Amino acid sequence: MNMYLELFAVFAKIGVMTFGGGYAMLPILQREIVDQRGWATEEELMDYFAIGQCTPGIIAVNTATFIGQKRKGALGGIFATLGVIFPSLIIISLLAGVIEAFSHLTVVQHAFGGIRVCVCVLIFNAVLKLYKKAVVDKPTFAIFLIVLLGSYFSGLSPVFFVVCAAAAGIILKNLEGKRA
């Protein structure tokens, strides 16, 4: 199969199976991209997620673009991106036509309540997986705790925390290298 079509197909499969946003797709990406195809390592996938979160746009789209670009350059990035958004585009277009007609029904409102809870669990599981891979020692735990508390108790922009965490990571690794 043409690699571009394979990128499109794999990411379309991921896109159709991903409910709950970008973080919920982490286990699916892990299985499809790292375990089954070897298109990226686990560390690269975590890096793509981190960069995808810090750059404008949707994390799922950004991650697909990074992986596609790694495989086949800019055109690969485009095909992977189109693949991951295609199922959503179709499904949302179909739902948009009927959602208003049924949103007032009690059963639909209860279904959405259940879906919201499920999405929270999917995101929580993805966050735990990211935490286990990212927080690996005392310095990374310190960065985690400072960013967690700072973002919870302040109104500062997430960009501020990303820049500060990146700077802290650089400084801590340089200090660590000098001690070794």
pLDDT at 42: 85
Let me know whether 180 and 105 are in one domain: no
Q: How many angstroms separate the most distant Cα atoms in the chain?
A: 66
Alpha-carbon distance of 78 to 65, in angstroms, equals 7
pLDDT confidence bin for 126, thresholds 50/70/90: confident
What is the C-alpha to C-alpha distance for residues 76 and 9, in angstroms, rounded to an integer? 12
Report pLDDT digits (tens) over 35-50: 999 999 888 888 888 8
CA gap 43, 130 in Å, rounded: 10
| Residue 175: per-residue pLDDT | 85
Whether residues 39 and 49 share a domain: the answer is: yes
Containing domain of residue 147, as a range? Answer: 135-180
Residues 139, 112, single domain; the answer is no
Residue 1's pLDDT is 61
Residues 27 and 59 in one domain: yes
- Cα–Cα distance for residue pair 47/29, rounded to 1 Å: 13
Residues 108, 21 within the same domain: yes
Same domain? 48 vs 80: yes
Q: What is the pLDDT of residues 81-94, one digit of tens each?
A: 999 999 888 988 88
Is the model's pLDDT at 99 over the cut of 90?
no
C-beta separation of 89 from 12 below 8 A: no
Q: Do residues 61 and 81 share a domain?
A: yes
pLDDT digits (tens, 9 = 90+) for 131-166: 988 899 999 999 999 999 999 999 899 889 989 999
Angle between helices 158-179 and 42-54 (to 10 degrees): 140
The per-residue b/e assignment along 99-131, b for 16 or more CB within 10 angstroms, e otherwise, is: eeeeeeeeeeeeeeeeeeeeeeebbeebeebbe
Q: Are both 165 and 144 inside the same structural domain?
A: yes
H or E element, residue 118: helix 106-134
Residue 55's pLDDT band (boundaries 50, 70, 90)?
Answer: confident
Q: How many C-beta atoms lie closer than 10 Å to residue 169's C-beta?
A: 13
Whether residues 128 and 143 fall in one domain: no
Q: What is the pLDDT of residue 43?
A: 85
* 51 and 69 housed in the same domain: yes
Tally of domains within the chain: 2
